[in-house]
Amino acid sequence: MIDDVASAAPTLGAPPSWAPRCCTSRGSSEYHEHYYGAFVRDPDGNNVEAVCRTIQPGG
């Protein structure tokens, strides 16, 4: 689902600001081994996050 959001967003005027990825090293407790997310900018410039917090590493 995260990849689908990231793929569709630019066609709706929301360019990517952070491509979908797993992330454990961004310096916040929000990001952990089960985090998979992407960020896009909406037409008003807001940073919008699509995230899954239950992804299994390697899956």
Domains of the chain: which residue ranges? 2-52
Give the mean pLDDT of the chain. 82
Higher-scoring residue by pLDDT: 39, 25: 39
- Asked if the model's pLDDT at residue 27 lies above 70, the reply is no
CB atoms within 10 A of CB 31: 16
- Asked if the model's pLDDT at residue 32 lies above 90, the reply is no
Report yes or no: 48 and 16 within 8 Å, Cβ to Cβ: no
Report d(CA 52, CA 30) in Å as an integer.
11
pTM over 0.75: no
Percent of the chain with pLDDT over 70: 75
